[in-house]
A and B are shown apart, each in its own frame.
Chain A
Amino acid sequence: MALAGRAALLWRARLPSPCPAAAPLCCPAWLPVACGRPYSSRGKGKLDMSAYPVESIRNFSIIAHVDHGKSTLADRLLEITGTISKTDRNEQVLDKLQVERERGITVKAQSASLFYNHEGINYLLNLIDTPGHVDFSYEVLRSLSACQGVILVVDANEGIQAQTVANFYLAFEAQLSIIPVINKIDLKNANPERVEKQIEKLFDIPTDECIRISAKQGTNVEKVLQKVIEKIPPPQCNTVDPLKALVFDSTFDHYRGVIANIALFGGEIAKGQKIVFAHSKKRYEVNEVGILTPNEQPTHKLCAGQVGYLIAGMKEVTEAQIGDTLFLYKQPVEPLPGFKSAKPMVYAGMYPVDQTEYNNLKSALERLTLNDSSVTIHCDSSLALGAGWRLGFLGLLHMEVFNQRLEQEYNMSVVLTAPTVPYKAVLSSAKLKKEYGKNQITIINPAQFPDKLSVSEYLEPTVLGTIVTPHEYIGKIITLCQDRRAVQKDMMYIDENRVMLKYLFPLNEIVVDFYDTLKSLSSGYASFDYEDAGYQSADLIKMDILLNGNPVEELATIIHNDKAYAAGKLLCERLKETIPRQLFEIAIQAAIGKKIIARETLKAYRKNVVAKCYGGDITRRMKLLKRQAEGKRLMRKIGNIEVPRDAFIRVLKRESDK
């Protein structure tokens, strides 16, 4: 599979809006504005955060399609406010991971507190970075829950893309103020008028509200800051209320333990206080609080409306559950609406390339998941690939990024199998119902696939995909979508030559090579994004692969009836290429139940003997023969057929990036 670096998939879970805007307005008492403090007082002791009352605070995010300039705009905002010094080297300051910089995406949301004086008032502007991409929309939602407004960045040249649409609706549904910004106006082909019209047509925002900027050159960036202050409301909360804080992110530091990112919706928090997590009921003592600038900068306290970090002796990320609410010991409050934990939608098997690497890989996985609790891990073992794991990811990009981080940060190279999706079955057999203790089961492994006779309905996950494309590719794209069993839900021109298409896709139809195909048939111009759309009934079957009549467990797949024939044929052909010839003929078959739907024949070896073997050839010959004999020990035997691990890897493996 090849999710090219700058893919634009978005996995959006439908979650209850965690935005506090839904809460009744509580009018804070007006607090005098503290004056005379510099924006940033690094090196001058701890900041006094009570100098920034609620009215002078703005919490906001920047959202954009990949590559539209979110990180560059963030860099400029950090520079203008003196948060970071202005140098040529400020590129993607908030993107700390190597994978983020390479792919131009944000995986892990970072935050930064900016200090800005506007019309004589010192403002505290909390920029809460969101993953720009995404399978990580649950991260976007987390970040947005701490915000009252967003800057929506659109490229003046490319215009609205699929992910722009998805991000807009995330912010819109959370009832946040939206500041549309048209970036890259310095580019030769920039057409801000066209983009303004698109924004008006699609998002119903008047054209005169858009700010035209060049984040790269700094043009009009100051104006963006002013709009943030004018248009985005301050958080509605009060310092005199009891402490009420939302955990919207957490990271793990090897020396200091868990660092929780928190947004205060009431009260204050300071070192030494005893705090309790509403969900886990666990009690901790605050060791340190502070703001992110964007590095951690300790402060005496954090006050209502502010955003910062908290260290309280937590050892595991799971202790600081994202979405949990904090309050002071013995002063419980009504918890904020929490987050549902994100459910994995794409599964893949992960195995060490070499089984002796198992333990190293295990510890790397443990460490990496400390920082990414959204990955689920189950031990798995395959007769062919050995001991490994079945990992659940939020989406394809999430899987790619996780794998890349494993390689880059832990120097691990792994076999990752082609992704599969979680199917469901509604049981009709009383026996199975009793066995599972429920009427509906989720099937991750084809081995668990219940027979049609004991099932009233199979279900498959679906997504609502958004495609934005120049109109000349519509025909090809519609054909592609139909091939993928997708149903058209909407189609509209967002300007005279760009079209937005919405399709309901079975998720498994897009997990393998959809994005690549879309990109190649549109010369790279079409963008794609998707969001969860629940389950739908599907004609699913289990396809077995047989070698001389014996089923190969690890090659069984769950597949839609319409696709079985083509998939079976492809799998048989690939196996024919990868299984070495043996002393007898091998029938490679794909079968549904007892019905054979595809067959390839691997002919027997008729000659396999080295031509010359004299005195000088023996040493080398014996080495090779002994290696082959050793290899035989490790081969998976199906009946009397020996299949090398490599053959399984080549068939099961996700195709590498093109």
Chain B
Amino acid sequence: WPYCRKRCSYCNFNTYVVPAVDEAAVRACLVREAQTLLRLGRVHSVTSVFFGGGTPSLASPGTVAAVLEAVAGAASLAAGAEVTLEANPSSTSTSRLAGFRAAGVNRLSIGVQSLDDAELRMLGREHTAAEAQKAVEAARELFPGRTSIDLLFGLPGQSRDAWAQRLEAALRLCDDHISVYQLTLERGTALAAQVRGGALPAPSPDLLADMYHTAHSVLVAAGFRHYEVSNFARKGALSSHNLSYWRGDQYIGVGPGAHGRFVLRSEGGCRREARVQTLEPIAWMREVQSQGHGTRTRAVLSPLEQLEELLALGLRTDEGITHECWGHFSPQLSLQAVFGEPGEARALQEEGWLVLDSSGLRCTWAGLAVLDSLLPDLLLQLQR
């Protein structure tokens, strides 16, 4: 759902703020594209669905239901499949949430971002801390154990203590899943311009590292498993949908600007393809109406490219890349054969950033925090 009521000051996603949305038309196109792409991939079973955005909680429960029905019709929606909806605290009244639950949503990810009104204003959010709190409480009622919240740290001017307070407040409020994101100052956003212009201070790298460490230790102490760079869960409440990205599973992207990675079985293909749908909603709808889908770019991924993606994604998780998962993409050359030999990975292991053992290749906790400095070396070794 690519629409928002208001653009946040830090966001550079493919989102649109329009006075009126022809929801029936968008719904019809989402349904049609989902059907087309599921057929192209000869998908038999869908194990998870994620409604992202934009602000999907602005769509009506009917639209969500229609898409889920289409998925169940074209393939089968596995029993117990995780169906997540991203929601903003400003569009999550209990009745709306109940509607989404009735439509088939069974997990909610709420964009809380902060529990401080001044910070929320700086971020350009529509809600207050109190509203966020109410929204989470309402969600937990309806989706017990399956409500996640997003938090941002490293905001201009935010101190380490302020962040620790936000975390404590979040812990009092949250369910069993928290995503903790370092704010990225994306080019072209209002917030980045203010920082570059000197109107707001840029946080120092050391402070950001400290905040990340704080999040890790506070949440782990509260019983959470730090299962991905920015994701924490307890009582097994990991997001199985997101895990599938990091494990290199297949996924289909439906909607304006959506990305997919899947094998086109219908065309007799056996290679994984990277597909991106047309960005602009009006153009996307025109394409879906005329040809059933709005795929703008398709690229066949070579075996090396698939392994490169697996490496960059798998190492983000605490389990890392298992031998089994690697073997699925590289039946001939094992993890041990690629990274066990003298080279970059070995050096990184000796320096304590990486571990390669009987379960697979993964980062140490220290390595996870600097993963982007490790990856170029590992890619070079893989390319050889």
Contact = CB atoms under 8 A, between A and B. Distances in A.
Contact of A615 (B253, B370, B375, B376): B253
Nearest to B246: A613
From A608, A609, A613, A632, residue with most partner B Cβ within 10 Å: A609
B217 interface: no
Contact of B209 (A606, A626, A631): A606
Q: Is the interface of B mostly helix, strand, loop or mixed?
A: helix
B375 to A, nearest CB: 5
A447 interface: no
Interface string B99-111: 0000000000000
B257 interface: yes
A619 B276 contact: yes
A607 to B, nearest CB: 4
B368 A609 contact: yes
Given A615-B259, A615-B260, A616-B253, A605 B379 contact: no
Given A606-B206, A614-B242, A626-B379, A582 B373 contact: yes
A610 interface: yes
A618 B245 contact: yes
Contacts of B376: 625, 628-629, 631-632
Given A582-B373, A609-B371, A614-B245, A625 B229 contact: no
B245 A607 contact: no
Interface size class of B (residues with CB under 8 A): 35 or more
Interface in B242-270: 242, 245-246, 251, 253, 257-261
A628 B230 CA distance: 22
Contact of A606 (B181, B246, B353, B370): B370
Interface in B227-248: 229-230, 242, 245-246
A611 interface: yes
B380 A605 contact: no
Nearest to A618: B309
B126 to A, nearest CB: 21
Contacts of B230: 611-612
B312 A625 contact: yes
Contacts, number: 105
A609 to B, nearest CB: 4
A603 B206 contact: yes
Contacts of B373: 582-583, 605, 608
Contacts of B370: 583, 605-609
A610 B372 contact: yes
B379 A607 contact: no
A633 interface: yes
Contacts of B383: 629
Nearest to A624: B372
A312 B308 CA distance: 66
A607 B208 contact: yes
Given A609-B229, A629-B379, A629-B383, A618 B313 contact: yes
Contacts of A609: 229, 316, 368-372
Nearest to B383: A629
Contact of A607 (B205, B257, B305, B377): B205
B226 to A, nearest CB: 12
Interface of B: 52, 181-184, 205-206, 208-209, 212, 229-230, 242, 245-246, 251, 253, 257-261, 274, 276, 305, 308-309, 312-313, 316, 351, 353, 368-377, 379-380, 383
List the 7 shortest-distance A-B pairs measured between CB atoms, nearest first: A606-B209, A607-B209, A629-B376, A611-B181, A609-B371, A628-B376, A629-B379
Given A583-B370, A618-B309, 15 more contacts: A582-B373, A583-B353, A583-B373, A603-B206, A607-B370, A610-B184, A611-B184, A612-B181, A613-B245, A613-B312, A614-B52, A615-B245, A616-B52, A622-B305, A632-B377
19 contacts: A581-B205, A583-B370, A603-B206, A605-B205, A606-B205, A607-B209, A609-B368, A609-B369, A610-B372, A612-B181, A613-B245, A615-B245, A615-B251, A619-B259, A622-B312, A625-B376, A629-B376, A629-B383, A632-B376
